[in-house]
Amino acid sequence: MEWNFLTAEELATAMRTGEVTSAELTEDAISRIERDDKAINAVCVPDFHRALAAARAADRARARGEDGPLLGVPVTVKESYNVAGLPTTWGVPEHRNHLPAEDAVQVSRLKDAGAVVLGKTNVPLGLQDIQSFNEIHGTTNNPWNHGRTPGGSSGGSAAALASGFGALSIGSDIGGSLRTPAHFCGVYAHKPSLGLVADRGMVPPGTPALPYGPDLAVVGPMARSARDLTLLLDVMAGPDPLTFGVAHDMTLPPARRERLEDFRVLVLDEHPLIATGAAVRAAVGRVADALADGGARVERHSPLLPDLTEAATLYNQLLFSGSAARFSVEEYEQLRARAAGLNADDRSLRAVRLRSTVFSHREWAAANNGRELHRHGWRQLFAGFDAVVCPITPTPAFPHDHDPDLLARRIDIDGVGFPYLDQLVWAGLATMPGLPSTAVPAGRSPEGLPVGVQIIGPMFEDRTPLRLAELLEQRIGGFQAPEQGVYVSDAPSEPEAAHPTRGRLQHGGGSTRADRPRVT
């Protein structure tokens, strides 16, 4: 029996019926990682000895009649989560020997649910890129095409899932870090509503593990099926007991609809600030057709949709003003001089990002007020719609690009170059107001690369986009394993260590510290 690509739900059922043991599943997963991860480089910090011990303990617990939602299921976690006894570096060279003393709250919840942690997955330097490479652990390749990125910053987790290295993973998202890797690798991910899932212990090395996180940021589940996302979200959801003084428990409202024909969906495939590539437009179209064929009410326009240009501007303002708060005085002054030199008429996103890094509190408060107005706009929209389907990024996975200056990079969209960071506008559409968003596979590009879309739902109604993702999976299919040996490489990858400063936002000099701004 080939176990590596089954869902967590299927593995749990097989263990409950005695068809397989956790020890057998874990040994099988370890063998696959040792065989195949040399080419992918997804699992950067293996923990196989403790994983086997945990698997055997899970089998003993099951023999005693115990059970749990993830009992015995092999999983991975993103490198940025603290795991006691394993290094947490965020890819920053000076923190290569940082060993946290205790697990992040979500690692604890995984273990409490019975999961077997195989190890940690690769990230970009400081979680600052839409790719996954750093000097310590090298470059992670896309399992579908080794010359392309798996995305970032949860790229190692998505690549691991697509390669059969564990049934589930956990990541984080501020600029699409869950959704973009899922889209690039053909798996599922869910960005929860802001504040739904505790993130304590998902912190830069040397930072106290306190029960708060950066504005806009969330942690969430990744899987190979929509149902597995719900299974894992139920394990993860709930407040931090250090903040609320209670055990984690969060009762979310049920999905608004159970049947596809009852859903009301707004479909978008164009953004005023960046083109949408043909492969992504085709994927959105496939989903729209499947929804309509299933009886859902599908519309392409609504006057209630918040202004997309304004939404992208607010997102960049909030993201970069918060990220730059830890810059040194010297760096801040350099940025302020550069921002002052901008043409007053320059309203490009590049100019927005630069101005935002030196925002005053008054300016940040104005942006935050704009966010609240947009949240109200989304509430009005979701009075008439249940979900919004739209792109995650404008293209499928792109070739590795390790130019150390993110601002000099370009993203090629059907032969036309755009500023690299402008591709974040689609991810930011859900991030800025804090809405839940589920990334789902939606077919392949003409080159054979996975293409996904996101389903955005109402605030704290995470089960609604998750349910629609499950219904879509039944109609158009879901995860498919990469076809080994078909797509090898169309560009040189970089399996060895990357340059120490690669992946850093180069607004005006600086260091490789883990507290540099996160873009994903």
Catalytic residues: 78, 153, 177
Two structure tokens written together for 217:
């940021």
**Cα 432 versus chain centre, distance:** 15
Which residue matches tokens 């923990």? 47
Q: Going by C-beta distance under 8 Å and a sequence separation of 6 or more, which residues neighbour residue 266?
A: 299, 300, 301, 302, 305, 381, 385, 387, 388, 389
Cα pseudo-dihedral 220, 224, 230, 233, rounded to 10: -20
Determine the longest span between alpha carbons in the chain, in angstroms: 71
Question: Quick one: DSSP state of residue 223?
Answer: E
Calculate the alpha carbon distances from 255 to 263, 436, 450 in Å. Answer: 10, 13, 27
β-pair partners for 299:
266
The answer to whether 489 and 139 have CB atoms below 8 angstroms apart is no
In DSSP notation, 375-392 reads HHHHHHHTTT-SEEEE-S
Residue 120 to residues 11, 90, 167, Cα–Cα distance (Å): 21, 11, 14
Radius of gyration of the chain (CA): 21
Closest CA to 88 of 102, 106, 105: 102
Do the strands 450-456 and 387-390 form a parallel or antiparallel pair, or are they unpaired?
Answer: antiparallel
Give the residues across from 297 on adjacent strands: 264
CA angle, 398 then 399 then 403, to 5°: 110
Closest CA to 184 of 147, 219, 144: 144
Q: Which residue has the tokens 């509190």?
A: 361
